[in-house]
């Protein structure tokens, strides 16, 4: 979802932005707006750092905290991508329903897979 949000953010920039007028940025997030105002590559670097922080936290935190951080990251970026789709595409509101289903499906799949990573994990145990 982060990669989708990032791609839609870049696609959502104006022609003026892409001709070098980086002050003509379209972004709600203050930190990523600031990076986009510098240069698209600064934005890309920021996205890589952002993802690395969440990957790191997911790997080092206790399981429940890691899952919470992971879900917050996924939900936040699903919302971010949905905002671009909803307001940028004809029938975007309806398309976001599919996005939410895909995001939920990935979350359920990942949650299911994560139970197999624990020593002695049993799928049938709640």
Residues 78, 55, 40, 11: what is their CA dihedral angle, to the nearest 10 degrees? -20
Question: In this structure, are residues 77 and 5 in contact, taking their beta carbons and an 8 Å threshold?
Answer: yes
Within a 10 A sphere around the Cβ of 43, how many other Cβ atoms?
Answer: 24
What is the rounded CA–CA span in Å between residue 51 and residue 70? Answer: 11
Of the given ranges (43-52, 71-80, 84-93, 105-114), which has the lowest mean pLDDT? 105-114
| pLDDT at residue 117, as a whole number | 63
* Phi, psi for 22 (deg, rounded to 5): -70, -10
Average the pLDDT over 56-66 and give the result: 93
Is the pLDDT confidence value at 125 over 80?
A: no
Average the pLDDT over 26-47 and give the result: 97
Q: Residue 61: pLDDT band by 50, 70, 90 thresholds?
A: very high
Is the pLDDT confidence value at 89 over 60?
A: yes
Question: In this structure, are residues 106 and 114 in contact, taking their beta carbons and an 8 Å threshold?
Answer: no
| pLDDT at residue 119, as a whole number | 52
pTM above 0.85, yes or no: no
């Amino acid at each position: 979802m982060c990669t989708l949000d990032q791609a839609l953010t870049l696609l959502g920039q104006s022609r003026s932005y892409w001709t070098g007028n980086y002050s003509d940025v379209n972004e709600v997030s203050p930190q990523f707006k600031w990076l986009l105002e510098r240069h698209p590559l600064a934005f890309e670097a920021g996205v890589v750092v952002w993802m690395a922080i969440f990957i790191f936290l997911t790997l080092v935190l206790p399981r429940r905290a890691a899952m919470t951080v992971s879900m917050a990251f996924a939900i936040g970026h699903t919302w971010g991508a949905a905002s671009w789709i909803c307001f940028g595409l004809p029938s975007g509101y309806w398309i976001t329903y599919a996005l939410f289903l895909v995001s939920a499906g990935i979350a359920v799949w990942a949650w299911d897979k994560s139970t197999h990573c624990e020593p002695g994990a049993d799928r049938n145990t709640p």
